[in-house]
Structure 1
């Protein structure tokens, strides 16, 4: 296992395992980098690194699909695992266990270094020079409201009293060279902090960090408890403190090895239209909403900087790998804290974060004596739907552990044969609903409330599978394997 302290060493490691696609020809500055990245997701190719983008200075690069499925079929989650300092062959459930376990360990706070030691401040742009037009920011999709300046970067903000520093990912659209507009959801952590600044009547200081250590990008995109500092959690995953440096113009610390840092303030009003944007559900966006303006005041960057991007849409991109794993780890943590004997949790990539599987071990009835599967299903829903992260998940399936939840073919088989057409489910009415999940109607989006469901697919008696593994004697199977593929 190895922790990569900056984006460049991570790209080098991916390149050595054949998981980088170098694009040396000049690509246009509008759609071509995004379209290539989107196709790379859909055919599971190596991650594209664009060395020459029209309209920007030589040396400025784009990097797509940083945490998507790997092109290596023998290690499909390698990009996510390596980002977090885990072995590239780690399975999805192993990654989820690591994310959940780190929440119970003491955090390792970041360590501040001097500006001269911080690669992110090799170049400092102020005033008119601090302009987004010099960077290769493409359109993500042709129906989007503008170029999206943030799809895989980390937004750093803190409460006015300085007690809580939040590192998160939120989509941010470029308006012009000096302005951006970001989606600020009140229930999310960045929205809670922005609301505190609004109450004071002061614009919120922010730093938008592009291309930090991969673990920073990953952790910024997953749920951890409010008032917990992501930097400390990342230190725990890395086993070492994150090096940070004081921002040039703000009282914020930023990752010292980042590629690019944009500094400024966020307006106290929703005074600019943001969107539409093609989101993780797999559909092109429609409509826009009034959101706060991010004013650009100072920009720092490394020599020949790399701007990473996630082009969300149909599976499988970072929303369906890293973010889904983070949501599953959050669910696993809360269910185990409720003393339920959960084996693992999993969000199938192809469900676009609309399904959560809660996997029960074969002996769960012995560990929960007197508890029926109906009561267990109800309890799981009661625990999960109180958590913030589950606002994104409308459907939960409680399943046995006799199949591989990360294998979509097995998931479809199990759910198709075990979900009752009418009964065996717990419906939770009037749950929080936001617009990102695709399965609700307009009235529910307007009300902010809708139903969620937990399906009970647990077998009262486990049936043997008509499969190679379970349908034949062991000696026959071994003889066939020894002679395969004669």
Structure 2
């Protein structure tokens, strides 16, 4: 395992892979940097590092597409894998398995270090100097309600009694140099913690962290269970503690290697209008909502700070590679905890986090005597219909593991040929994610609707199961070897 302790060492690793493009010409943070980043997703090209941003002090930089699919040949998940300390060539199944196994490890609490040893304290801005006007805050889409300081940073917050410290990602929009507003959804962890402060009638202390160890925003985007501290999970992921440092003005601790830390309080009321913003489903939102206000009271940053930028939209971007992968890891962990025979789980990246695929091994009938495919699919539905991650996708497909769910060609073939157009499916009504575009307007408003589990399992071996008419299965080993030996001829 190779751990990158800050964003800069991670950038160097991407550059060594040929997966980073330094852009030295002057680029505007108003749409242009995001447009370049968005095109880099759609062409699966190297991550753009904007070294000369218009309107800010020299040295202030932007990094686009920090955890998107990689341009490195044969290593599409390199940015994702490197973010959590795995080799660049890690497969989807290995990645999900690693994250799922970490859930069962004892948390490793963070290590507190002094301010003098923390890179994020190289510059400390207080009072009137603590203004976002000096930073390259990007405007991401033309139709957005404003510039968005937070597309790939974590919000640090803790309950009033200190029992739970949460690191999470939620979009935040600029109001002015001293104020921001952003989504605080009651069902999400930041909404739960904010509500505890509201009940006390006190504004919630917060810290907004940009950059640092690449695992920080990655884990902030994973839907870990309520009450789990992300800092302890990252420590378990690495087998060593992450270093944190006290904030300047609020009683919170933040990653010491952060590029930029914004501190302050979040208002008790929903006092500002936020949005619209282009979301992960790939459509332009037209909705706005009243949300709490983040007051900026202090900013600390490294010399020549780097502000990460995610130009969210049509797949594949960081929501799909991080939140989708994290949801798959949670699904895998939950099904294994229920003693169900599961090979892997995967959220197909180009399905915009609307689908989940669960694969099972060929011997699942031996491990569950007397259980047929409908009953196994039902048992999977029982577990996931009660799970936050299970209910975060609209459709789950249960398939044999003779296909690789991370291979879109494999998956599309299996879905087309194994999923009945009407039967062999079960719906479970309840909470649904309000940003899933496949639901009706009423279902999204009430956050209530069906999630569906599709039984796509093949018959038992010997029971009318057809062999694949593929190179691997339709020809004897002797012929395959001969073909491969002479392929370059």
CA distance in 1: counterparts of 2:102 and 2:442, whole angstroms: 40
CA distance in 2: counterparts of 1:82 and 1:448, whole angstroms: 35
Match of 1:95 in 2: 95
Match of 1:474 in 2: 477
Q: How does 1:60-139 map to 2 (within 5 A)?
A: 60-139=60-139
Match of 2:317 in 1: 317
Q: How does 1:52-451 map to 2 (within 5 A)?
A: 52-429=52-429, 431-451=430-450
CA distance in 1: counterparts of 2:445 and 2:66, whole angstroms: 35
Equivalent position SS for 1:378: helix
CA distance in 1: counterparts of 2:13 and 2:7, whole angstroms: 10
How far did residue 29 of structure 1 move?
A: 2.6
Unaligned ranges ≥5, structure 1: none
Of 445, 460, 468 in structure 2, the residue corresponding to residue 465 of structure 1 is 468
CA distance in 1: counterparts of 2:421 and 2:113, whole angstroms: 60
How far did residue 447 of structure 1 move?
A: 2.5
CA distance in 2: counterparts of 1:360 and 1:391, whole angstroms: 20
8 A Cα contact 1:275 1:288, kept in partner: yes
8 A Cα contact 2:103 2:233, kept in partner: yes
CA distance in 1: counterparts of 2:466 and 2:343, whole angstroms: 19
TM-score by length of 1: 0.99
Equivalent position SS for 1:254: strand
CA distance in 2: counterparts of 1:413 and 1:236, whole angstroms: 38
Equivalent position SS for 1:194: helix
Match of 1:50 in 2: 50
Aligned residues: 485
CA distance in 2: counterparts of 1:243 and 1:452, whole angstroms: 40
8 A Cα contact 2:391 2:451, kept in partner: no
- More off after superposition, 52-61 vs 220-229: 220-229
How far did residue 463 of structure 1 move?
A: 2.1
8 A Cα contact 2:384 2:391, kept in partner: no
CA distance in 2: counterparts of 1:392 and 1:329, whole angstroms: 13
CA distance in 2: counterparts of 1:388 and 1:188, whole angstroms: 10
- More off after superposition, 376-385 vs 262-271: 376-385
- Measured against aligned partners, the alpha-carbon deviations of 1:296-332 in whole angstroms (never above 9, x if no partner) come to 1100000000000111111111111121110000001
Unaligned ranges ≥5, structure 2: none
CA distance in 1: counterparts of 2:487 and 2:335, whole angstroms: 43
- Measured against aligned partners, the alpha-carbon deviations of 1:131-158 in whole angstroms (never above 9, x if no partner) come to 1111111111111111111010010000
- Measured against aligned partners, the alpha-carbon deviations of 1:351-380 in whole angstroms (never above 9, x if no partner) come to 000110010100001101111111111111
CA distance in 2: counterparts of 1:446 and 1:328, whole angstroms: 25
Equivalent position SS for 2:251: coil
Match of 1:11 in 2: 11
8 A Cα contact 1:392 1:436, kept in partner: no
- Measured against aligned partners, the alpha-carbon deviations of 1:152-173 in whole angstroms (never above 9, x if no partner) come to 0010000000111001111111
How far did residue 388 of structure 1 move?
A: 1.5
8 A Cα contact 2:432 2:451, kept in partner: no
Equivalent position SS for 2:149: strand
Equivalent position SS for 2:184: coil
- Measured against aligned partners, the alpha-carbon deviations of 1:387-422 in whole angstroms (never above 9, x if no partner) come to 112332010000011111111011111100111111
- Measured against aligned partners, the alpha-carbon deviations of 1:180-225 in whole angstroms (never above 9, x if no partner) come to 0010111111111000000000000000000020011110110112
CA RMSD of aligned residues (A): 0.9
Equivalent position SS for 2:180: strand
CA distance in 1: counterparts of 2:111 and 2:435, whole angstroms: 36
How far did residue 443 of structure 1 move?
A: 1.7
CA distance in 2: counterparts of 1:86 and 1:80, whole angstroms: 9
- More off after superposition, 388-397 vs 33-42: 388-397
After TM superposition, the runs of 4+ consecutive aligned structure 1 residues lying more than 3 A away are none
CA distance in 1: counterparts of 2:414 and 2:446, whole angstroms: 34
- Measured against aligned partners, the alpha-carbon deviations of 1:34-70 in whole angstroms (never above 9, x if no partner) come to 0000000000000000001111111000001111111
Relative distance call for 1:324 and 1:285 in structure 2 (3 A) is same
How far did residue 448 of structure 1 move?
A: 2.1
How far did residue 271 of structure 1 move?
A: 1.0
Equivalent position SS for 1:150: coil
